[in-house]
Structure 1
Amino acid sequence: MSTPKTFDAFVPSNLPDFLASAEIRPDYISFDALRAVPIDNAHKAATTYTEQHLATSAFAHSLRTYYFALAIMHNGFPSGTPGVPQISFEELQKRLYHACVMHDIGWTSHPDGLNHPARKMSFEIFGGIMAYDFLHAVDPTLDAEQVGDIVQSIMLHTTEYTAGQSSAVVTLVTLGASFDVVGYDAFGPGTFNYVHRKTVQEIEKQFPRGTFFKDVNEIIGEEFDVKPNCIMGHFRGGLEFVKNAHVESLVPVDEVISVD
C-alpha cells in the first residue's frame, strides 16, 4: 500500500464515529521506512529540546507516538474525501512531528519549566505555550496556521468531543499517544487494530518503554491531585485510563510475526 500524497485536513472529532468509518488497516510498514521520512533542522531542535525537558521514559513515549501516528497515516488515514480540504503528506508530517514530540512537554521537571508562569495550568495547555514559544524561536519560517495547528494539537490531544471537526494533526497525536499508553484495546477491547504487530515490535525495540508505566502514573496522579479541574480529568476514563498503561511492551520482543 502506497502512502497518499494528500490527506483530509479535517476529520470528525467524535473518535468512535471516526474509527468506525475510517478504512485504516494494520498493514506492515518497517521502522526503517518510517525513519526514512525526512526531518528538518527544526525537528531535530525540537527533539533535543524535548529530550532535555522530559524523563527518558516520557521522551521515548513521545517518539513512539510519532512513529505510531506515521504508521496510521500510511495505513489508510482518510484521504481525498470529497468536499474536505486536503493537506499534503509533507506538510502534515512536518506539523505532526513537532506536535507528537512535544505533546507531553508540559510534564517537564526542568528548572525552566518549573519556573514558567504557565506552570499551574493543565499540562496540555502549559505544554502548548512552551511549544509556541519554542517554535517561534527555532523556526521563524512557520506561519500562523502551522504554529496554530501544532500548538492547538498539543493543547487538545486529551480533549474529546462528540461533534465537530478536528485537524488531522490532533487526531493523529491522540491516536498515536493513546495507542502507546494502552495498546490494541485503547478505546475498548480490540478497538485499535490499526498498526501491524511487527511495526509495533520494531518501534518498541528502538524506543523501549522502560519505567513509563510508573512515571506516567506518578505524573498524571500528581496532575489530578494538584489540579482537580485538569483537562485530563475529562478524558475518557480519566485517571483509570492511565492506570491501564502497559507495563511491558505492547508486542513481546520475542514474538515471531509474519509480514505476509
Structure 2
Amino acid sequence: MLWLNVSAYGEEEPSSTAVSTGTVAQSRIVPEARSSGRLESETSGTSGGLLHSSTCKQQPSKPPSIKREFTTFNHKSSMSKTIEDNGWTAVPRSLEKLLANRKNPKSKATPLQVSDLPLPSSPIVDSIMKHAKDHLPKQTFSHSMRVFYFGQAIAMQHFPEWRYSPETYLLASLLHDIGTTEDNMKNTQLSFEFQGGIQALNLLTQNGAPQSAAESVCETIIRHQDVGETGNISTLTAVIHFATLLDNAGANPELVHKETIENVVKAYPRDGWTGCFAATVRKESKVKPWSHTTKIEGFAEMVEANETMRPYD
C-alpha cells in the first residue's frame, strides 16, 4: 500500500526556497502511527540489527524556545466556530486516493524552516500547551510537536485547498497521545485513542473552546489510528494521519523535504522515539488485548522498520 512506502530520499540537491504559510492550512491523508506514554516494560526490540530503547522517559518535556506567532481564524477573540475552519470537511479515508486525486499530483516538497510554519498562540493554546508539557513524557511531547509541523508542511505544499484552522490542528497534535500516559493507560479499560479523545473534549470545553473545535479535536484523536481504504474522515484527521505515519513509520517521506525533516527534528529531537513508541504499542496490546491498536497487524515491527527516521533516532 502507498502509505507503507518508506523508500530513501534521492540525491537531489535541496532547494533553498522557503514557503510561508497563511492563516488557514490545507492537507492530505496517510495512515498514522501511534505515539507513546510512560512505560514500565524492560523489553527491547531490534530492527536491522539496531537496538531500540523500550522505554519512554518519565519527566515532562522542556522543549526549545521557538518563536510563536498569533494567527487569525476569522474570530474576534479566540478560536473559530465555523465548521470548515475546524476541519469538518469529508475526504476519503484512503490515503492512496487522496494522494492520487490531489489537484497537483506532481507537487514537490520544498525545504522549510520551523519559522516558516508559525505556531498559533491563544489563551486556549497556551493552556493546552502547558497541560501537554506537564503530563506527557519528553519524547511524546516532542513527537506531538513534530506531528504539528509535518502536518502543516504536507498540507501547505500538497493540499493547499484544504481548509482548517492551524490552531485546532495544534490542539489535536498536542493531545493526540494523551491517552498513552501511565496514569491514563492504567485508569481506564478504553483504548488510548478513545480515552484521549474524551479527555481532550472535556479539557477543551473547560477551557472555553467552541463546540465545533473541541469536537473536531476529539474526533481526530479517536480516529487518528483509523487508517483504511473505505469511507471518509475529516480533513483534520487526514492531516494527522499523514503526519503521524511519517514520524512513526516513515510513510510517504517524499511529501516532506529532507531538509524540513532535519529542521523539525533539530527543534524537537526524536531521542529514541522509535523504541519508545514501539514499546507503547506492545504495552497497550498486552494490557488491553481488545484495544484498537491491535487492528494494525505487525504495528510495533512496522515502527521499528522506520528507515526514514532511523538517522535521527
Shorter-normalised TM range: 0.7 to 0.9
1:245 is displaced (CA, Å) by 4.2
Q: Structure 2 length normalisation: TM-score?
A: 0.67
Alignment of 1:14 onto 2:94: yes
Alignment of 1:128 onto 2:211: no
| Deviating more after overlay: 172-181 vs 36-45 | 36-45
1:251 is displaced (CA, Å) by 5.7
User: Aligned partners of 1:208, 1:3: CA distance in 2, in Å?
Assistant: 23
User: Aligned partners of 1:55, 1:135: CA distance in 2, in Å?
Assistant: 21
- Asked if structure 1 preserves the Cα contact closer than 8 Å seen for 2:179 and 2:185, the reply is no
Alignment of 1:106 onto 2:179: yes
- Asked if structure 2 preserves the Cα contact closer than 8 Å seen for 1:68 and 1:176, the reply is yes
Aligned counterpart, 1:147: 214
Bigger helix fraction: 1
Letter in 2 for 1:131: A
- Asked if structure 2 preserves the Cα contact closer than 8 Å seen for 1:200 and 1:250, the reply is no
Which residue, out of 158, 161, 168, partners 1:95? 168
Task: For 1:1-260, list aligned pairs within 5 A.
Answer: 3=21, 7=26, 9-22=89-102, 23=105, 24-34=107-117, 36-77=118-159, 79=161, 87=163, 91-110=164-183, 113=184, 116=187, 119-138=188-207, 140=208, 142-183=209-250, 186=251, 191-235=252-296, 237-245=298-306, 249=309
Label 1:158 to 1:114 Cα distance change in 2 as closer, same or farther (>3 A): closer
User: Aligned partners of 1:148, 1:18: CA distance in 2, in Å?
Assistant: 23
Of all paired residues, the percent bearing the same amino acid is 24
User: Aligned partners of 2:197, 2:224: CA distance in 1, in Å?
Assistant: 10
Larger RCO: Structure 1 or Structure 2 (Cα < 8 Å, ≥ 6 residues apart)?
2
Label 1:217 to 1:161 Cα distance change in 2 as closer, same or farther (>3 A): closer
- Asked if structure 1 preserves the Cα contact closer than 8 Å seen for 2:197 and 2:219, the reply is yes
1:20 is displaced (CA, Å) by 2.4
Cα RMSD for the two superposed structures? 2.5
1:252 is displaced (CA, Å) by 5.7
User: Aligned partners of 1:148, 1:192: CA distance in 2, in Å?
Assistant: 30
- Asked if structure 1 preserves the Cα contact closer than 8 Å seen for 2:173 and 2:240, the reply is yes
Label 1:115 to 1:163 Cα distance change in 2 as closer, same or farther (>3 A): closer
1:237 is displaced (CA, Å) by 4.2
Label 1:7 to 1:227 Cα distance change in 2 as closer, same or farther (>3 A): same
Letter in 2 for 1:180: D
| Deviating more after overlay: 55-64 vs 225-234 | 225-234
User: How many equivalent residue pairs?
Assistant: 230
CA offsets per residue over residues 33-77 of structure 1, 9 Å max, x none?
Answer: 11x343212112212111222211111101101100011121121
User: Aligned partners of 1:131, 1:149: CA distance in 2, in Å?
Assistant: 10
1:7 is displaced (CA, Å) by 4.4
Label 1:102 to 1:245 Cα distance change in 2 as closer, same or farther (>3 A): farther
- Asked if structure 2 preserves the Cα contact closer than 8 Å seen for 1:31 and 1:203, the reply is yes
User: Aligned partners of 1:175, 1:15: CA distance in 2, in Å?
Assistant: 8
User: Aligned partners of 2:156, 2:253: CA distance in 1, in Å?
Assistant: 15
Letter in 2 for 1:26: A
Q: Structure 1 length normalisation: TM-score?
A: 0.79
1:129 is displaced (CA, Å) by 1.1
Aligned counterpart, 2:56: none
1:114 is displaced (CA, Å) by 5.8
User: Aligned partners of 1:210, 1:7: CA distance in 2, in Å?
Assistant: 29
Aligned counterpart, 2:38: none
- Asked if structure 2 preserves the Cα contact closer than 8 Å seen for 1:10 and 1:167, the reply is yes
Letter in 1 for 2:194: I
Label 1:2 to 1:50 Cα distance change in 2 as closer, same or farther (>3 A): closer
CA offsets per residue over residues 101-143 of structure 1, 9 Å max, x none?
Answer: 1111111124xx3674xx22111111111111110112x1x33
Query: Unmatched 5+ residue regions in structure 1?
Result: 80-85, 254-260
3-state SS of 1:75 partner: helix
User: Aligned partners of 2:311, 2:234: CA distance in 1, in Å?
Assistant: 29
User: Aligned partners of 1:78, 1:126: CA distance in 2, in Å?
Assistant: 32
User: Aligned partners of 2:284, 2:276: CA distance in 1, in Å?
Assistant: 12
1:154 is displaced (CA, Å) by 0.3
